A and B are shown apart, each in its own frame.
Chain A
Amino acid sequence: MTTPRRKTHTREGLDGRAVHDVGGLDFGPIDRDEHDLAQWEKRVDAMMILLYAKKGVFKVDGMRRVIEDYGQQAYDSTTYYEKWVRALRNLMVEQDVLSAAEIEAKVAVVTAAFQTEGRDVAAGAIDWDSGLGKKGGRP
């Protein structure tokens, strides 16, 4: 098991407020329109329920902590389920369910298949958090 380190990324210019702790800040109007979920978002939701509620791999507090540990750039530029899927990835490695190397290998296979089909692939996805990648042999 990887013992996660306590850390707090603070929001720029706000006197120590953590990146995720945005209550009361002005982010403009809230989009209240209903929207359909993409298939991948539903899959992420299913994986989260399976691993947290059914398998007990982590607690909801752990999931929140991983998301809170994103830097401001990553936190502000990712959507709800993008945050979830990255949290799942990090928690799987922390809890030794998968190694970072196994995840990277699968991502490479999927990326290659998508490129063969001429589909768009997000460049670089999101970097590993410091400390996690090393465990699976990634630099």
Chain B
Amino acid sequence: MTTAATSTPPRFAVGDAVKIDAKSAIGHCRTPWYVRGKSGVVVEIHGSFRDPVRLAYHRPGLPAQVLYKIRMRQTDLWSNYKGQAADHLDVDIYEPWLTPVRSAKRSAKTRVAAVAGVV
């Protein structure tokens, strides 16, 4: 995959707590079902890439979308998870699927940030 210019800077920064939207999509979609509605923290900004949702239908894939690496706790993803509490999963998510976890949810933000080792 090649990077592509984007007209807008990344909305999120490394360390930001985010929630992955619990929405459904019609057609090609890169956001796995099992992470939707779950929270995590930005641990890397991969850059801007042509939009796979448009490329999948033979379109140019513009505007480009910012892709982030989001770190999530395994215990948040799987109710029956039996591994270590600190175990995490990194998943690449495009910006339109991310919503900031705001200060009203400070405890959640602190928790996910701690998971990522960024605070």
Show the binding face of A for B, using Cβ within 8 Å. Answer: 1, 3-4, 6-8, 16-18, 21, 23-24, 58-59, 61-62, 64-65, 68, 94-95
Closest to B1 in A: A60
Q: List 6 A-B contacts (CB under 8 A).
A: A7-B26, A21-B29, A24-B78, A64-B56, A65-B27, A95-B58
Cα separation A59 to B54 with both chains bound (whole Å): 10
Residues from chain B with Cβ under 8 Å of A3 in the complex: 57-58
Number of interchain pairs (Cβ within 8 Å)? 53
Cα separation A58 to B28 with both chains bound (whole Å): 14
Residues from chain A with Cβ under 8 Å of B33 in the complex: 17-18, 21, 23-24
Residues from chain A with Cβ under 8 Å of B55 in the complex: 59, 61-62
Q: Are B27 and A16 in contact (CB under 8 A)?
A: no
Closest to A59 in B: B55
In the complex, how many angstroms separate the beta carbon of B77 from the nearest chain A beta carbon? 8
Cα separation A95 to B28 with both chains bound (whole Å): 18
Residues from chain B with Cβ under 8 Å of A65 in the complex: 27-28, 56-57
B7 CB-CB contact with A under 8 Å: no
Residues from chain B with Cβ under 8 Å of A23 in the complex: 32-34
B25 CB-CB contact with A under 8 Å: yes
B52 CB-CB contact with A under 8 Å: yes
Closest to B54 in A: A61
Residues from chain A with Cβ under 8 Å of B8 in the complex: none
In the complex, how many angstroms separate the beta carbon of A84 from the nearest chain B beta carbon? 16
| Cβ < 8 Å to A, chain B residues 34-75 | 34, 52-53, 55-58, 61
Cα separation A24 to B91 with both chains bound (whole Å): 14
Residues from chain A with Cβ under 8 Å of B57 in the complex: 3-4, 6, 62, 65
